[in-house]
A and B are shown apart, each in its own frame.
Chain A
Amino acid sequence: MRGAPLRVYAILYLLFLYAPIALLPLFAFNDATIIAFPLSGFTTHWFTDLVANAALRQAVGNSLFIAAMTAIFATLLGLCAARAGAMARFPGKGGIIGFVMLPLVLPEIIVAVSLLIVLRQVLGLNLNNWTVISAHVLICTPFSIAILNGAFQNLDPSIEEAAMDLGESRFSAFRLVTLPLVMPGIISSMLIAFTISLDEFIIAFFLTGANPTMPVYIWGLLRFPAQLPVVMALGTILVALSVTLLIIAELFRRRGLARAGIKDTGGFL
């Protein structure tokens, strides 16, 4: 078959992509403190250690709060931009959208240090969960816009016009007609923003306050060899969680496309 070598190459490439993650459960259930081969035996006590760790529970709580707030605000901003993007042009529109999308290609450390300077040195604020949220909203909004653009651009504007002709106000036409149609996109966008925020380290390390986020706490654990199996156990749970969230996001995205009546052509982004 033509393309057979390419297929073999693509499958090898997938193996390369998955190789590190495949190791996670191996060491999470391995009965040894040292993360190396050969494996010694099966245990679940790294998971019980994990649950017993109060500092970690607090870090996870912080991260969940930050991720939830980021998901809400990034999606609201993304909703504004994507809706505007699907409407008539006005001077400077392309430039403004390009500027809002900029964090997508900016090195994260630049976002981190610039916000640190403004928040700490210029405004003299204390760092807390909200400082991390403000930065995460900035970097997640472009992803939300990219996902919601898909939802809005597939929409037939005449449906909303018909609702307005039939006596609905502009807002209620949006709420009753457009919003349900783009809802799968909104949910998908919130899940993606949530996942990005939950995992983000580079910026959070600069902007986190007295209570670290989960990745910042993991970073601390990586320095203590005795804690590494616990990190593996935590990683296993996180991978399972992200995969579940992503599958849900993907299902909603596809449902959104099906609702808009178009053929599926690609993934996120």
Chain B
Amino acid sequence: MGLGSFAKSEGGRAATLLAPPFLYALALLALPILAVVLFSFWTQDFMTIDTRFTLANYREFFDKPIYGVLLGRSLMVSGIVTLVTVLLAYPVAYFLSFHVPSHRKSLWLFLITIPFWTSYLIRVFLWKVILGYNGVINSGLIGAGIIDEPLSFILYNINAVIITLAHAFAPFAILPIFVALEKIDRSLIEASRDLGETRLTTFFRVTLPLSMPGLVAAVLIVFIPTIGDYVTPELMGGAGGKLIANMIQTQFLQLNNAPMGAAIAMVAMVCVTAIALVFVALNRRWLRGRG
């Protein structure tokens, strides 16, 4: 089959159609990321870029403790946010899939996704209003006579960052788990009950393992993007709650040191990707061990 006949075949026409989005992503995603990799091995002195290959940026990253602290804190925050979000979301997804009548499901999903589509900046800021010194929680608790002094541990620290991020990423966790639960053949659950398993053991031995792909997707779709968020730590984190994304942003926009920013971004990306891959591999092994 020659090239001409391939172009006329259905597969060939599909390839032609796929070319524009592919070339767009190649030009605006793959090549720019390649540029980040290159820049991370260069240095910048004020406005001039020195294109000699050097590991200086990476050396600085590992020599100065601040970068390691920020990266470690970022990974910890993302990890806790992922855990909290997924644990809180699973029962909701389970309820949607198993207890809501099918004609009501899309209404529930719609209600869950709406807050996600409203201005992110303003949502973050509103958490400040809720958690602040004169905020909803403090004035409510004081008004109810439960506390005398406003609580200070809920704003301008890591806790505030975690609460806000867990709220922002909630729908991301619910949707993939819901899709995985919907795909489970209900007769498998009936069979398990018929064979003498209780409702609880059926959940742990049938439903949970079968919903694992959704759970894994939820973990990845929450964990990876939270690393790149600098809005929430900037507004909610105070002095001790800054994360690695704030440092990347500072290097690029305030210190005008693109190569150093590129190196930090590379290290963060490599860490996130490595953790994601290990997580997926462990999960696969766990599922196979059971099978």
A20-B130, A108-B228 are contacts. A246–B114 as well, Cβ < 8 Å? yes
Residues A100 and B25 in contact, CB atoms below 8 Å apart: yes
Q: Give B37's nearest chain A residue, CB to CB.
A: A114
A78-B21, A219-B121, A265-B182 are contacts. A87–B14 as well, Cβ < 8 Å? yes
A-side interface mostly: helix
Give bound CA distance, A135 to B28, whole Å.
8
A16-B167, A84-B14 are contacts. A235–B33 as well, Cβ < 8 Å? no
Residues A138 and B25 in contact, CB atoms below 8 Å apart: yes
A137 sits at the interface (CB 8 A): yes
B36 sits at the interface (CB 8 A): yes
Number of chain A residues whose Cβ lies closer than 8 Å to a Cβ of chain B: 90
Q: Give B49's nearest chain A residue, CB to CB.
A: A121
Q: A residues within 8 A CB of B224?
A: 105-107
Residues B225 and A107 in contact, CB atoms below 8 Å apart: yes
Which stretch from A46-54, A64-72, A88-96, A175-183 is at the chain B interface?
A: A88-96
Q: Give A267's nearest chain B residue, CB to CB.
A: B109
Residues A6 and B175 in contact, CB atoms below 8 Å apart: no
Q: A residues within 8 A CB of B139?
A: 36-38
Q: B residues within 8 A CB of A263?
A: 102
Pick from B14, B109, B119: contact of A218, CB below 8 A. B119
Residues B29 and A6 in contact, CB atoms below 8 Å apart: no
Whole-angstrom distance between the Cβ of A28 and the nearest chain B Cβ: 11
Whole-angstrom distance between the Cβ of B248 and the nearest chain A Cβ: 6
Give bound CA distance, A201 to B231, whole Å.
9
A132 sits at the interface (CB 8 A): no
Interface residues of A (CB under 8 A from B): 2-3, 6-7, 9-10, 13-14, 16-21, 23-24, 27, 34-38, 76-78, 80-81, 83-84, 87-90, 93, 96-97, 99-100, 102-111, 113-118, 121-122, 134-135, 137-138, 141, 145, 195, 199, 201-202, 205-206, 215, 218-219, 222, 231-232, 234-235, 238-239, 242-243, 246, 250, 254, 263-269
Q: In the complex, given contacts A13-B91, A199-B120, what are 12 additional A-B residue pairs having Cβ atoms less than 8 angstroms apart? A: A7-B95, A7-B99, A37-B140, A96-B22, A108-B229, A109-B249, A110-B228, A113-B248, A113-B252, A113-B261, A113-B265, A265-B105
